Structure 1
Amino acid sequence: MLLERIYDEDLAQASYVIGCQATGEAVVVDPRRDVDHYLRLAEAKGLRIAHVTETHIHADYLSGTRELAARTAATIHVSDEGGPDWTYGAGFEGARRLRHGDSIRVGNVRLTASHTPGHTPEHLSFLVTDGAQASDPGFLLSGDFVFVGDLGRPDLLDEAAGGTDTRFEGARQLFASLRDRFLTLPDYVQVLPGHGAGSACGRALGAIAATTVGYERAFAWWAPYLAADDEAGFVEALLDGQPDAHAYFARMKRENREGPALLGAPSDLPELSPARVRTLLRDEAAILVDTRHHDAVHEGTVEGALAIPGAAKAASYGAWVYDPETEDLPLVLLADDREEAQRMRDHLVRVGIDRVDGYVRTLGGLDLVRPELLAPEQLDPAAITEDASAVLVDVRGRGEHDAGHIPGSVHLSGGRALWHLDRLPADRTIVTYCQSGVRNSVVASALRRAGRRVVELDGSYAGWQRSQASLTSSR
């Protein structure tokens, strides 16, 4: 048996390729939408992708299940659990619908579906048995059910799918799934989760790639509640302190349920001249994405540009600042070369940002403006609080804000800001900050494009802390 983990650092997301070398067949579990990596891997290993499946209807990225099946003629398998509200839609016509106990055969390898609701009602985990070596499963592809040291959050249906207090039922379902499914497995079973540290699908995910049933049974935070059969304590502990859910999760849920649009094989992005980009921007026919470090952006950028600092986090930040359901203009990427631009495009399509029309190598010849900045030593939180013409906004995560913030600041996390403009009065100056300035630059660019007057706190919270420490030491 071959088992390969493909990890996306941008979205902290893991997919898996499992193959039988004896028959040359493979199955891909939870693929992302830019599927060429799976095709190259299968070719390099001498495998044919015969099956593709996913653990659940994802909220944090667009699934590549339909895309990969269209490129390979693989059979699609999706969950048929969870009831009619969580049935996959028209885009999955012809897919095989899996119930608890159903299997996917890949030569000598068997993936057996285990219904593990809680994170979502339809969630499946897959028990993997290498028939050439054993008669019992040795691996569990746990999706968003069990992570290393944590569990999939049960509140996303409230946060991202329009539910009302579904988190409590979800938490109770997670308790039952742990008790009746996970903890009945032998300790030696290796657990391969769908996300790692940094994902918003859990509260405090571990950074290592895998765990075991025995390790989680012994050391996970939730284990004592299960040992004591304390469902009420488990529910309270699980729901406490969950991070903000990004607003774009709602769109991911809808599109993944119905089936994301098919992309086809990607074509080369054209390089555009500065003169051409100048015309597009003048005619309001495109949006420039400034991919430089925020310090460079502060030296001058195109008015209305979106600041997304490079490909590494383009999916995460791109989904904060560009909503394809309300924005009809294509993107032009600032990039050193075509390879860099296409790598960024690959990240953007993972969150459904498909309209990238080209790239430009330089901003030379374009009209530039300098974003407004405020030096930390010039910030007087009390004055801003009392000033009806300004508001101080912390765009970090909820947990970061709760752990310490600038007095008088209100909290609105970066992944929600563009969808909650009603909380940012149009007639007031908005002074924004994050931890170091990266997220601040991203969010500020989107708010400016939405018509708000935004002043970025230079150095953000860390810069303000340094200024306060310097002020204290000088007294």
Structure 2
Amino acid sequence: MLFRSYFDDKLAQYSYLVGCQRTGEAILIDPPRNVEPILADAKKEGLHVSTATETHIHADFVSGARQLGEKHGVTLYLSDEGDNDWKYQYTDNLDVQPLTDGDEFKIGNIKFEVMHTPGHTPESISFVLTDLGGGADKPMGIFTGDFVFVGDIGRPDLLEKAAGAEGTAQSGAKDMFKSLQRFKELPDHMMVWPGHGAGSACGKSLGAVPQSTVGYEKLFNWALNENDEQKFIDELLKDQPEAPKYFAQMKKVNKLGPAIVENPSAEWFEHAEDVVEFSKQDGNILIDTRISKEAEKGLVPGSINIPFGKMLPNWAGWLVDYDENIALIVEKDQAEEAMKILRSIHLDNVVKLAEPSLIESVATETYRTVDTEAFAKLKDQTDYQVIDVRNDSEWNSGRVEGTEHKMLGHLRSEGKELNKNKPVLIHCQSGARSSIAASVMLALGFDDVTHLSGGFNAWSNNRPKEVVTN
């Protein structure tokens, strides 16, 4: 048996390639949209990806399942659990095998048993793997998707918070408790291969270790050590992070079927003035992917600075509307990767590109970066609006006295409520998010914007007496 895991560090998402080397068949589990590199890897190992499956309808990234079925003729094994609201709706012309609890299928000499493990979502399933070709008569491990993570479990509130399905958080938490009782019955030796690692918003405190065992999770995962159902539900639903805005779109996209894409391409701007004109037009958004230290020296009016890398998919997903045309200010050698990153959350409308050198003459908007002492002096002036753009749990655990809370993901809409005639002071936890926030405020038409270097961490270290706690 060949086993490979693939980790997208920008989305904290795992995909798995499992192949039977005797027959040359392979399966992809929870495939990403950009699946071509994995197919090439399989081919290099003498394997043909004949099958793909996924643990549930994902809310945090675009699944590559439809792409594999449409473009590569791959057979799709998809959950047929859950109610009619969460059934796959793109399967009519594809080779699809519906799966329910207790089903079995084989890829060569590797057996997969299906466990219905609702809680995170109603249709969620897990796959128990047994390597028959290796002579095993007991399972090696379980692919848990967003059911059991290393040190945590999947959150059950996303359908309610992101997709608007009222009451599903409570019912999902109850389902999760029942599913975990089944998980506890599995042999301790079994490996646990989760769908996400640290950094994912699909749980509260996911571990950074890529895999675990059933026995280890029984010992150290809080959720497997709480036997009182109500206490479990209360703890599971408490302090869950904000559900990123784009999650609702992803759930819909993956249910209805993502668009089939080829290699990304877009036209490059030839004149700096055209970049400015693009940014002015309704329905367009200009994303500047430079590092914040470069962007703060000069931004094109109307642009939002989201640095290339891990921050790009998350904050683009929060701040960009899906019907907007996107232009990127990006280095040429990063352009294709940047478009793939955005396409991983179905932001497909990248129509224009500009090299940073092109915009030098028109990057006229700036914001200031100050230390805690300068921030404190400005804050004491009565005409300043002081904005905290951290998430709810950070705000509730402690905040700068006299601040107003507007989480960064909502700032593009909620920032319009502020007075444009007054200067704005912004901070986050460390300074990274407030740099993005500063560019958002400039794009909204605020002239005087300042952000705090080091954020709340620096403030609480240097001025702890001015921290308010609940």
TM-score (norm 1): 0.89
CA contact (8 A) 1:14 1:30 kept: yes
For 1:253, the aligned partner's letter is K
Q: Hey, what does 2:190 align to over in structure 1?
A: 189
Deviation at 1:36, TM superposition (A): 1.8
Q: Hey, what does 2:128 align to over in structure 1?
A: 127
Deviation at 1:379, TM superposition (A): 3.6
Deviation at 1:456, TM superposition (A): 3.5
Task: Tell me the distance in 1 between the aligned counterparts of 2:378 and 2:442.
Answer: 25
Q: List per-residue Cα deviations over 1:358-386 (Å, max 9, x = no partner).
A: 433323553122333363434459967x9
Which runs of structure 2 are paired with 1:44-63 in the superposition (5 Å)?
A: 44-63=44-63
Deviation at 1:443, TM superposition (A): 3.2
CA contact (8 A) 2:266 2:353 kept: yes
Structure 1 spans left out of the alignment, 5+ residues = none
SS at match of 2:456: helix
Task: Tell me the distance in 2 between the aligned counterparts of 1:448 and 1:104.
Answer: 55
For 2:186, the aligned partner's letter is L
CA contact (8 A) 2:426 2:450 kept: yes
Say whether residues 1:320 and 2:318 are aligned partners: yes
Q: Hey, what does 1:256 align to over in structure 2?
A: 254
CA separation of 1:247 and 1:212: change in aligned 2, threshold 3 A:
same
Q: 1:349 aligns with which of 323, 336, 343?
A: 343
Which runs of structure 2 are paired with 1:366-381 in the superposition (5 Å)?
A: 366-373=361-368, 375=370, 376-380=372-376
Q: Hey, what does 1:210 align to over in structure 2?
A: 211
Could you tell which deviates more after superposition, 52-61 or 365-374? 365-374
CA contact (8 A) 1:433 1:457 kept: yes
Say whether residues 1:139 and 2:141 are aligned partners: yes
Q: Hey, what does 1:295 align to over in structure 2?
A: 293
CA contact (8 A) 1:302 1:368 kept: yes
Deviation at 1:67, TM superposition (A): 1.4
CA separation of 1:428 and 1:194: change in aligned 2, threshold 3 A:
farther
SS at match of 1:245: coil
Task: Tell me the distance in 2 between the aligned counterparts of 1:461 and 1:274.
Answer: 40
Could you tell which deviates more after superposition, 295-304 or 432-441? 432-441
CA separation of 1:210 and 1:365: change in aligned 2, threshold 3 A:
closer
Task: Tell me the distance in 2 between the aligned counterparts of 1:357 and 1:199.
Answer: 28
Task: Tell me the distance in 1 between the aligned counterparts of 2:409 and 2:92.
Answer: 29
Q: Hey, what does 2:35 align to over in structure 1?
A: 35
Q: Hey, what does 1:66 align to over in structure 2?
A: 66
Q: List per-residue Cα deviations over 1:432-456 (Å, max 9, x = no partner).
A: 2112222122233334434556723
Q: Hey, what does 1:330 align to over in structure 2?
A: 326
CA separation of 1:77 and 1:443: change in aligned 2, threshold 3 A:
farther
Deviation at 1:163, TM superposition (A): 2.1
CA separation of 1:49 and 1:416: change in aligned 2, threshold 3 A:
farther
CA contact (8 A) 1:103 1:111 kept: yes
CA contact (8 A) 1:392 1:410 kept: yes
Q: Hey, what does 1:468 align to over in structure 2?
A: 463
For 1:67, the aligned partner's letter is Q
SS at match of 1:176: helix
Task: Tell me the distance in 1 between the aligned counterparts of 2:311 and 2:299.
Answer: 20
Task: Tell me the distance in 2 between the aligned counterparts of 1:256 and 1:420.
Answer: 29
Identical positions, percent: 37
For 2:105, the aligned partner's letter is I
Q: Hey, what does 1:110 align to over in structure 2?
A: 111
CA contact (8 A) 2:285 2:320 kept: no
Q: 1:273 aligns with which of 270, 274, 287?
A: 270
Could you tell which deviates more after superposition, 156-165 or 200-209? 156-165
Task: Tell me the distance in 2 between the aligned counterparts of 1:221 and 1:199.
Answer: 18
Number of matched pairs: 461
CA separation of 1:295 and 1:74: change in aligned 2, threshold 3 A:
same
Q: 1:240 aligns with which of 208, 224, 238?
A: 238
For 1:298, the aligned partner's letter is E
CA contact (8 A) 2:326 2:352 kept: no
Q: Hey, what does 1:415 align to over in structure 2?
A: 409
CA separation of 1:470 and 1:222: change in aligned 2, threshold 3 A:
closer
CA contact (8 A) 2:273 2:362 kept: no
